[in-house]
Structure 1
């Protein structure tokens, strides 16, 4: 038996025992304050014991428990005994059924219990309360039923909220992984495509230069695979074995693009106050990488410039070229992905044509020091 199940059985057993003692003691005094009711006798004590002991299995068999408790309480009331702790047994049984069963079966069970205990209002000893006796009896069913419905709805709302939160987290994680893979694979394939076109163009006329382009393809594909492995390793939660790239990798990125036919000048202004937070370092690198990939794929530019500026509490990035300019077209998500990266860190990114021709991407990222 599992620990939680054992605790549940123990808890319900202790509740039943405590309620049995409480009812036996307090009902005697209740009878003294309710003139016209029967004094406790052997039959009343048996009915009280049956109703209380049945609660020991209320969560295991809620409907059976309610049926037993209802029968005992109905017999108790028909016998003309005083209202007392036995009614608490009915209250708990109705509540348990309401939270354990779907709403419609719970309502049917509670309604049947209400009808059963209402019989005493019409078949009492020595006359009886009649219709007036229905009100207090109904309250012991209606009130716990209403409370149980409220608790049930609250639990269902909480469960839906947890499910929605888990779904949002999963969606965000998928988007993050997709963005990482897009940046890594997109950059590598763009460089390889450019180098392959160069190799095809030079293959027959200048085979020695075509060989250099093919060598660059081999080197770029290996570097891209290594970075993709590092990204997937980090996604799996084992980032300690393969650190994610950062701005320190920009010289290597510049060299790869130079081999792909896009010279890139890199300027750095200022000094960081200390090591950049990992998220900022990665986002900055990915923004520069994606911006240069767009230049390589779309701009038709012969060169590009990257400027990194360290300021107190901020990091600024700028990537410019003198290519075709204009707004990039097609189904790509590069600029949107860069904006999302910047926004996720509380920064902002702008991208658009330059007045004198070409394209400019500028990002400002806050740097929060711990």
Structure 2
């Protein structure tokens, strides 16, 4: 609306005045408060625009930019009742403005179109922002669930092994002091390892992107995990096997690190359940590599399915498998004896692994 004050006007038109210039400025200043009181700003803009047209007949532009801005803001930020009030107000104000200006159907159609477009763009902005907030909330929920699974796995595994060793310690002190010493060493080592992993996780939560990143446990750490559980007195057999066409793939390096970490956590939770609930003597951990999937079986010779065996640990195993497009089941072992956790994870093809 300030162009007529910068570019010389046609001699046949009324010259621009400083009063008109000042009133034009008053139609823009209220936009500073458009987010705090958008409807009030709209009324102020309509009032100053009407005064400009009726009192001064100044050389303003036919397109009300300030009105479009405030309509967009109301559509994007205001509740439904304010949007409805704005729409009703515009239905009256736009025809009146056209009648005071050119009184042409063309201007009326154009004005309704541009104000309608401003309103639609405002609603689209609001919808996009809502979608972003929903995505952010869903991402936060997934992250909370992931952290809860990690902390459950770390603490449940460590505490279970420490309890078993602590219960065996007093008996070993009286009958086999060397075994008691080994039990206390195992308790100490398990506790230190749990503290390291918890500090690492809490450091990431506290410091965010500035926290040092340490690698997650992987297939290469399964041997150490088995040894820790074996130290509790449980006979653990760890085996790998190749399914049809799987011979060239049976190694930690053939799998993505995220898949390896998931396999580690599944085996860890399954062994923790054996230590806590199974009253078993032996447990077998078997990884079977195939062309398209890797199968994990953790089978014990304990007392089989137990009431409440669908707790957080098994739920976490199913969630971890599902996150990689796999499945997990738990139930009675072969022949109805013992208990077995079985998970199947899809793995990359050789071509994908090469990339």
TM bracket (short chain): 0.7 to 0.9
Q: 1:117: how far off?
A: 7.7
TM (norm. structure 2) is 0.75
Q: Distance in 2 between matches of 1:283 and 1:47?
A: 73
CA deviation string 1:230-274 (max 9, x = no partner): 444566557865321111111111111111121100112243384
Distance, in Å, in 2 between the alignment partners of 1:95 and 1:23 is 27
1:68 and 2:68 matched:
no
Find the counterpart in structure 1 of residue 70 from structure 2.
Answer: 97
The aligned counterpart of 1:224 is 194
In structure 1, stretches of 5+ residues that fail to align are: 1-15, 29-38
Secondary structure of the 1:182 match is helix
Q: Is the 8 A contact 1:306 1:319 kept in 2?
A: yes
TM-score (norm 1): 0.73
Aligned mate of 1:365, from 323, 334, 345 = 345
**What CA distance in whole angstroms lies between the structure 2 residues aligned with 1:218 and 1:313?**
40
Shift of the 200–347 alpha-carbon distance from structure 1 to 2, 3 Å rule, reads same
Query: Distance between the aligned counterparts of 1:203 and 1:164, measured in 2?
Result: 58
Q: CA offsets, 1:270-326, max 9 Å, x none?
A: 433844211001000000010111111111111100112233343222111111111
- 1:16-40 alpha-carbon deviations (Å, 9 max, x no partner): 4457679956xx9xxxxxxxxxx73
Within the candidate set 235, 239, 247, 2:219 is matched to 247
Cα 1:358–1:120 change in 2 (3 A) is: closer
Moved more, 265-274 or 214-223: 265-274
- Aligned twin of 1:191: 161
Give the number of aligned pairs.
327
Going from structure 1 to structure 2, the CA distance change for 1:287 and 1:265 (only over 3 Å counts) comes to same
- The answer to whether structure 1 residue 304 and structure 2 residue 283 are counterparts is yes
Contact 2:220 2:252 in 1 (8 A): no
Three-state SS of the structure 2 residue aligned to 1:317 is strand
- Among 29, 49, 63, the alignment partner of 1:88 is 63
Secondary structure of the structure 1 residue equivalent to 2:281: coil
Q: CA deviation at 1:355?
A: 4.0
Instruction: Give the drift of 1:335.
Output: 1.1
Distance 1:23 1:195 in 2: 94
Distance 1:19 1:284 in 2: 73
The equivalent residue for 1:12 is: none
Whole-Å separation in 1 of the counterparts to 2:254 and 2:158: 27
Q: Tell me which residue corresponds to 1:336.
A: 315
Q: Which moved more, 1:180-189 or 1:54-63?
A: 54-63
Deviates more, 1:222-231 or 1:356-365: 222-231
Q: In structure 1, what is the equivalent of residue 89 of structure 2?
A: 111
Question: For the Cα contact (< 8 Å) 2:151–2:198, is it kept in 1?
Answer: yes
Hey, what does 2:229 align to over in structure 1?
Answer: 257
Q: Residues 320, 155 of structure 1: CA spacing in aligned structure 2 closer, same or farther, 3 A cutoff? A: same
Bigger-Rg structure (1/2): 1
Instruction: Give the SS at the match of 1:318.
Output: strand
Measured after TM superposition, the shift of residue 96 of structure 1 is 1.9
Moved more, 288-297 or 232-241: 232-241
